[in-house]
Amino acid sequence: MAKMSKKKIFKALGLVTKQKGANYGGEWFATSKQLLEVRSPTSGQLLATVEQAGARDYTRVMQQSQKAFVAWRARPAPKRGEIVRQVGEALREKKDALGALVSLEMGKILTEGLGEVQEMIDICDFAVGQSRFLSGPTLQSERPDHRMMEQWHPLGTVGVISAFNFPVAVWAWNTALAWICGDTALWKPSSKAPLCGVACQNIVNEVFKRNKLPMGISAVVIGRGSTIGEKLIGDKRIPLVSATGSTRMGKRIGEVVGARLGRTILELGGNNALIISDKADLTGALASSFFGAVGTAGQRCTSTRRLIIHEKVYDTFIKKLIANYKKVRIGDPLDPQTLMGPLIDEGAVKEYENAITAAKAQGGKVLYGAKVLTPPFGRRTFVLPTIIAIENSAEIVQHETFAPILYVMKYRQIEEAFRLHNDVPQGLSSGIYSDSVAEAEAFLSYLGSDCGIANVNIGTSGAEIGGAFGGEKETGGGRESGSDSWKAYMRRQTNTINWGGQVHLAQGVEFQS
């Protein structure tokens, strides 16, 4: 595919250089007068200016979302699924442009930008099928001639807060499910990738309009966390907030939504490790470690941050890994030759530098990288992917740095590997490379990984949409995407029906005058 120009991307996705930040179908609007400059992480070029949504805009959007919910929930679920099918089709049509926009605005390489749009298409397909199967069990009643069952009903307006690193897919995981479940969705995209938010909303607006559906089933507010974000999480009309971001942000959301007894799905920091056994296929382990640590410039929640390597294979493995690192082509993410693009901004580079300084001070030894590159395109956002040998207990290793820094360490006994693996505050994704059935099964057992995702002979990143996605401990809890994650987007109702005519009290209670 020839490199798509900014002009072409903007045209295909209905983007303008002076954008307004609120929409629920129809025209974009904003009244805050607070401007957000959107710059390319690669070149620093001003891509667009967004006038952010203010408090009044939020109120307008929210009211419309609530109104739309009343109509949308009455539509049969398979008919809602039909709309999501059309959204999937529209995404197929726009895949090249949207994938290129992700790459342009956020900096991941094009194949990964396209992969992200593919995740959106996949979740739409998944949701279409699921729309005919929002099922609950029939249960056995202890009372004669009674039946019990469970039903699932639409929940309301679901708030979605997404991060810059997956600026489109995570929204789709949430909205495709929320929509088939009969909910409306109100999205606050990351201020670091707002144009992706605009583009997605433009795509679905067309589908909703064509089907003559009420406006507000999909709504977007681009605005500051301190104003719009706080309004959204504190809003009692939002029964579920699904948020992706840092643990610090998640704690705040958990606190505010919890105080009003709302529900959350939080997908926060990961500190994902891959154990590489002496019984592993090292070629596979190498490819998976390389993609996990260097892919998306280390800016996935699922990025591999730690390698726990058996001492017998450690030296050989590290040598090969360094050889791979030396060949990483760093540059313009839209150039098909590039393997690693920039970090999102200068702030992220600072975090990268701080982490390396801390690692060195805490006994770490840099094996490769640790260098900010002279700006090839005018912005100080390019770094070398880095490998550091260090103890797991070092303070910096316990912390998620959103950059391509890989900490490597040795183990002798598999139990020790498991202990090191779990000895971090986070619990998102994990993996073991081993051809020993016993080791692999133990890793998946209660003795092994304490993460929400645990893989065998696969890396930590790049999960499929069919599985439930989320983690434990400081990763926040809750699941998005596949399996039965849809249940979080509905309210469960237990029904007991007496068809026999006689009144029976449960637990054998007698109550007659």
Can you tell me the distance from the alpha carbon of 140 to that of 242, in angstroms, rounded to the nearest whole number? 34
Cα–Cα distance for residue pair 265/370, rounded to 1 Å: 35
Cβ closer to ligand UN1: 170 or 177?
A: 170
Q: How far is the CB of 167 from ligand UN1 (least distance, A)?
A: 10
- Name residue, tokens 């104003």: 227
**HSE-CB for 345 with a 13 A CA cutoff:** 11
Distance CA 190, CA 161 (A): 7
Using the minimum distance from each CB to ligand UN1, give the nearer residue, 85 or 300. 300
Of 152 and 486, which has the nearer Cβ to ligand UN1? Answer: 486
Q: How far is the CB of 46 from ligand UN1 (least distance, A)?
A: 27
Q: Which of 124, 181, 196, 301 is catalytic?
A: 301
**429, 460 Cβ separation under 8 angstroms:** yes
Q: How far is the CB of 170 from ligand UN1 (least distance, A)?
A: 6
Q: Which of 51, 105, 112, 267 is catalytic?
A: 267
Residue 168, classed as helix, strand or coil, is coil
Residue 277: closest CA among 461, 398, 415: 415
Q: How far is the CB of 109 from ligand UN1 (least distance, A)?
A: 14
Summarize as ranges the residues that interact with ligand UN1 (CB under 6 A).
Answer: 119, 165-166, 170, 244, 300-302, 461-463
Please tell me the distance from the alpha carbon of residue 317 to that of residue 370, in angstroms, as a whole number.
20
Nearest distance in Å: CB 453, ligand UN1? 8
CB of 429 to ligand UN1, least distance (A): 7
| CB of 64 or CB of 165, closer to ligand UN1 | 165
82 is catalytic: no
Q: Is the dihedral of CA 63, 267, 369, 107 positive or negative?
A: negative
Could you give the C-alpha distances from 244 to 176, 268, 378, 399, in angstroms and in order? 16, 6, 30, 17
Nearest one of 361, 418, 424 to 392, comparing CA atoms: 424
Query: Using only C-alpha atoms, what is the Rg of the chain?
Result: 24
Shortest separation between residue 140's beta carbon and ligand UN1, angstroms:
39
Would you call 116 a catalytic residue per the annotation? no
- Of 30 and 243, which has the nearer Cβ to ligand UN1? 243
Q: Which is nearer to ligand UN1, 166 or 368 (CB)?
A: 166
Which of 160, 163, 354 is CA-nearest to residue 247? 163
Among residues 170 and 344, whose Cβ is nearest to ligand UN1? 170
- Going by C-alpha positions, the residue among 424, 357, 344, 347 that lies closest to residue 166 is 344
Q: C-alpha angle with apex 25: 74 to 169, nearest 5 degrees?
A: 85
Active-site residue set: 267, 301
